[in-house]
C-alpha cells in the first residue's frame, strides 16, 4: 500500500471522526484545544521548563485548576489528544480487529497527517510532537499515554478468538509503540512528509500478524505457555 499526499488528504477528509456528545462535551474539547494552543505558544517562545501552569492558565483565560483538571500535569498537556476522550464504544467502532494497522493509519490520516510546511515545519502537529522527543519528561508522559491506549486496545484484539490474552497484549503494545517509533523517525527526518507514510512503512511487518488469520497456529510453546 503506497500513500501519496493526494491520497492522504482524500482519505483523511472521508474518514469519520468520533463526535462529541452534547454541547457541554464540545465546549470541553474546544477549551482543551485552546489551552493546549496557548501552552504551545508559550513553550515555543520561552522553552518548556520556563513556563508554569499558572502562566498557561492566564494566557488561555482559565483558572489553573481547570488546566490541572483537564490535563493533570504540564507534560500531560502536551501529549493529550482526542483519543483520550473517546469512549470505549468509539474505539471499538474505529478499530478493525482484522486490520488494526490499517485502522491506525486511518486515525493518523485524520488527526496527525502533517500538512506540507516546506523545509521548516512550524504548524501542528510538528510544534506539539517535537516536545515528545526533546523533553524527557514529556517522552515519559507520552509512553504512559501509549500504555493506557494499549490497555484499551488489547481486549479488542481477542475478538473472534484469534488471539490469547498474552498475544493480544503483545500485539497491542507492538501496534501503539510501533506507532511511536514511526513518529520519532518522522521527527528525526524533520517532519517534512506526512506521518502516515512513516506509520505505514514502519508497521508493515506487523500486518502479517493479521493477514492470514485462518492459517494453523505455528507459535512455539515455551514452558507450557501459549495456546
| Residue 217, pLDDT above cutoff 80 | no
pLDDT band of 83, cuts 50, 70, 90: low
> Span 21-38, mean pLDDT?
83
Q: What is the number of helices (H) and of strands (E) in the chain? A: 12, 0
pLDDT score of 21:
57
**How far, in whole angstroms, is CA 179 from its chain's centroid?**
8
Q: Locate cell 490520516: which residue? A: 109
Domains with residue ranges and CATH for the chain: 5-15+86-211 (1.10.357), 19-73 (1.10.10.60)
Q: What is the pTM of this model?
A: 0.77
> Span 140-169, mean pLDDT?
90
CA distance 223 to 213: 25
| Residue 116, pLDDT above cutoff 90 | no
- Spell out a b/e string for 158-176, using b for 16 or more CB atoms within 10 Å of the CB, else e: beeebbbeebbbbbbbbbb
Most confident of 29-38, 50-59, 84-93: 50-59
pLDDT score of 57:
96
> Span 24-34, mean pLDDT?
83
> Span 103-121, mean pLDDT?
63
| Residue 80, pLDDT above cutoff 80 | yes
What is the average pLDDT value for the chain, to the nearest integer?
A: 79
pLDDT score of 173:
96
Amino acid at each position: 500500500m503506497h500513500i501519496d499526499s493526494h491520497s492522504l488528504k482524500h482519505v483523511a477528509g472521508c474518514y469519520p471522526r468520533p463526535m462529541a456528545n452534547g454541547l457541554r462535551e464540545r465546549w470541553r474539547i474546544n477549551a482543551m484545544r485552546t489551552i493546549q494552543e496557548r501552552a504551545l505558544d508559550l513553550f515555543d517562545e520561552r522553552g518548556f521548563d520556563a513556563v508554569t501552569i499558572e502562566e498557561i492558565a492566564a494566557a488561555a483565560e482559565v483558572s489553573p485548576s481547570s488546566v490541572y483538571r483537564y490535563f493533570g500535569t504540564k507534560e500531560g498537556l502536551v501529549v493529550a489528544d482526542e483519543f483520550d476522550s473517546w469512549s470505549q464504544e468509539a474505539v471499538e467502532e474505529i478499530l478493525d480487529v482484522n486490520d488494526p494497522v490499517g485502522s491506525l493509519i486511518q486515525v493518523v490520516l485524520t488527526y496527525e497527517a502533517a500538512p506540507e510546511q516546506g523545509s521548516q515545519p512550524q504548524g501542528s502537529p510538528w510544534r506539539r510532537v517535537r516536545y515528545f522527543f526533546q523533553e524527557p519528561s514529556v517522552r515519559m508522559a507520552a509512553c504512559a499515554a501509549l500504555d493506557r491506549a494499549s490497555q484499551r486496545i488489547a481486549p479488542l484484539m481477542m475478538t473472534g478468538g484469534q488471539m490469547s490474552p498474552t498475544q493480544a497484549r503483545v500485539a497491542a503494545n507492538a501496534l501503539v509503540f510501533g506507532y511511536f517509533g514511526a513518529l520519532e523517525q518522522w521527527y528525526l527526518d524533520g517532519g517534512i512528509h506526512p506521518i502516515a507514510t512513516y506509520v505505514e512503512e514502519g508497521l508493515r511487518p506487523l500486518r502479517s500478524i493479521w493477514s492470514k488469520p485462518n492459517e494453523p497456529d505455528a507459535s512455539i510453546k515455551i514452558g507450557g505457555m501459549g495456546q
